[in-house]
């Protein structure tokens, strides 16, 4: 009764009706009426329903328009995002289902509330959540909330791969990969045209060459990186490697090699200043003559073809190796920004076998085609020598590998960085590309070539990696 009285008093007041004292008795009879009591009850029930309906649609609108941040993804790259219902305040959602996932490459784990997968398509993905909240009837249509996920295209797909002109002067293969023997070890080399060159149909500027000289026990491996600014560097790098092989074919059977064998044997049994000087002298004379021969032959080739030698600018690194009963003698030379790394047998030490031209010689890369290289007082620093019982890997690479995988020169002398690099080669990378260094693996050249497709933002140069193992 009191509740009915308060309601009716309020109702009449809202309609500007006052109950004078003289009509209080009439009002008491009015509120006592069963019809009025029932009417007030019905009105209040309807009001409650109206309030419930408003609260429901208001809550649904809040959820529908609530900002939910989902991280951007990339096509073909693993994606994962948690839609945390509790953190979002969605504890009143009693049922839901996700739609529009079929063609996206994504799936939703209802238990973990995680959206994951490898996106297949780029663009703004619109993922629908159809849901009901507590208080809605079974007959009520499902509500719809849309999540937007921005999926960026696979960066690799944005690069074209246009074949180089096979009819152009000094044309060569865009990609080469080979595996063979090197002394009593194995060798695998892959040289791949960089995306920046493939995108415009230009040539691979890197090159390599190796050879075993059965008559004297020596083997040679050379790697060269043609200068990007030099119009004919693709030929310069090939000339550098091939000419070097030619030089040693003609000059490794001379009598002084026997003398060097004796010096090395003495050095092995008793390392002293005299044997060290003799080794340095031999290395300097032998390798400098080879490097100078390369320089001269490229210059001659340029003149014969009425071109400037600088158009053939190329770096050059090489390793001359021989196996003795007491170990391996490794002689190296390097000009340019391509490293030579020697890893000991148990992978605990790295020896950087050459000086890298990254600012050490006037602020930039140097090339075998530069005459001033042989006039510099720093020429001797370009040679390296190591006598070891054994080794696990001897690697020569161009900056297309060095830049993305080691980043800075200082990392080349850190064994942990080389072990990371080996781990990467053996499959610890986002592509899962693996190079199997098992001795009988016949697919290793193909595996190395595939591994070289790794993505590294900003690093799209030619890539050459030679590994003796």
Instruction: List, for residues 20-66, the tens digit of each pLDDT value.
Output: 888 998 888 898 999 999 999 999 999 999 999 999 999 999 999 99
Residue 163 belongs to some domain of the structure: no
pLDDT value for 255: 64
Contact criterion met (CB below 8 Å) for 233 and 307 = no
pLDDT value for 359: 54
Contact criterion met (CB below 8 Å) for 211 and 245 = yes
Q: Are residues 13 and 152 in the same domain?
A: no
Contact criterion met (CB below 8 Å) for 441 and 365 = no
pLDDT tops 90 at residue 333: yes
Q: Are residues 463 and 362 in the same domain?
A: yes
Residue 170 belongs to some domain of the structure: no
CATH at residue 139: 2.60.40.10
Q: How confident is the model at residue 361 (pLDDT cuts 50, 70, 90)?
A: very low
Residue 93 belongs to some domain of the structure: yes
Q: Are residues 61 and 91 in the same domain?
A: no
For the stretch 15-32, pLDDT in tens is: 999 888 889 988 888 989
Q: Are residues 206 and 246 in the same domain?
A: yes
Q: Are residues 78 and 138 in the same domain?
A: yes
Contact criterion met (CB below 8 Å) for 70 and 106 = no
Q: Are residues 228 and 344 in the same domain?
A: yes
For the stretch 74-109, pLDDT in tens is: 998 999 999 999 999 999 999 999 999 999 999 999
Residue 147 belongs to what domain range?
73-158
CATH at residue 318: 3.60.40.10
pLDDT value for 104: 95
Q: Are residues 351 and 379 in the same domain?
A: yes
Contact criterion met (CB below 8 Å) for 383 and 283 = yes
Beta pairing partners, 145 = 129
Q: Are residues 278 and 351 in the same domain?
A: yes
Q: How confident is the model at residue 447 (pLDDT cuts 50, 70, 90)?
A: very high
Q: Are residues 194 and 59 in the same domain?
A: no
Tally of domains within the chain: 3
Q: Are residues 115 and 150 in the same domain?
A: yes
Region 382-396: mean pLDDT is: 97
Q: Are residues 414 and 328 in the same domain?
A: yes
Contact criterion met (CB below 8 Å) for 388 and 342 = yes
Q: Are residues 374 and 391 in the same domain?
A: yes
Residue 168 belongs to some domain of the structure: no
Last residue of a domain, one of 37, 65, 93: 65
Residue 166 belongs to some domain of the structure: no
């Amino acid at each position: 009764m009191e509740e009915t009285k308060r309601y009716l008093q309020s109702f009449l007041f809202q309609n500007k009706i006052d109950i004078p004292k003289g009509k209080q008795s009439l009002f008491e009879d009015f509120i006592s009426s069963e019809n009025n009591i029932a009417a007030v009850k019905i009105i209040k029930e309807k009001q409650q329903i109206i309030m419930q309906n408003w609260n429901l649609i208001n809550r649904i609108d809040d959820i529908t328009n609530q900002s939910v941040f989902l991280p951007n993804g990339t096509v073909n790259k693993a994606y994962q995002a948690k839609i945390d219902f509790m953190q979002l305040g969605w504890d009143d959602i009693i049922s839901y289902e996700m739609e529009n996932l079929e063609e996206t490459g994504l799936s939703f784990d209802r238990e973990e509330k995680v959206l994951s997968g490898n996106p297949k398509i780029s663009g703004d993905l619109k993922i629908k959540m159809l849901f009901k909240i507590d208080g809605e009837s079974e007959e009520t249509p499902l509500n719809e909330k849309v999540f937007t996920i921005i999926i960026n295209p696979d960066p690799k797909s944005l690069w074209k791969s246009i074949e180089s002109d096979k009819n152009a002067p000094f044309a060569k293969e865009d990609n080469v990969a080979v595996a063979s023997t090197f002394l009593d070890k194995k060798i695998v080399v892959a040289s791949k045209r960089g995306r920046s060159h493939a995108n415009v149909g230009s040539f691979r500027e890197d090159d390599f060459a190796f050879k075993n000289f059965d008559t004297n026990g020596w083997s040679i491996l050379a790697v060269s990186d043609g200068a990007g600014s030099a119009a004919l560097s693709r030929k310069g790098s090939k000339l550098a490697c091939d000419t070097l092989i030619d030089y040693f074919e003609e000059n490794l059977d001379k009598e002084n090699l026997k003398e060097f064998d004796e010096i090395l044997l003495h050095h092995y049994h008793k390392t002293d200043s005299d044997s060290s000087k003799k080794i340095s002298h031999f290395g300097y004379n032998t390798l400098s003559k080879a490097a100078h021969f390369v320089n001269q032959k490229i210059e001659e080739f340029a003149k014969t073809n009425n071109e400037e030698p600088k158009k053939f600018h190329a770096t050059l690194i090489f390793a001359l190796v021989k196996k003795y009963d007491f170990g391996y003698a490794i002689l190296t030379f390097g000009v340019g920004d391509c490293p030579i790394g020697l890893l000991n047998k148990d992978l605990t030490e790295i020896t950087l076998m050459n000086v890298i031209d990254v600012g050490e010689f006037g602020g930039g890369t140097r090339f075998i085609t530069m005459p001033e290289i042989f006039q510099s007082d720093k020429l001797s620093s370009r040679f390296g020598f190591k006598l070891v019982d054994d080794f696990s890997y001897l690697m020569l690479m161009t900056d297309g590998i060095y830049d993305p995988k080691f980043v800075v020169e200082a990392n080349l002398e850190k064994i942990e960085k080389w072990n990371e690099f080996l781990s990467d080669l053996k499959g610890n990378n986002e592509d899962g590309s693996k190079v199997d260094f098992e001795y009988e693996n016949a697919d290793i050249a193909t595996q190395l070539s595939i591994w070289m497709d790794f993505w590294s933002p900003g690093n799209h140069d030619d890539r050459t990696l030679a590994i003796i193992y």
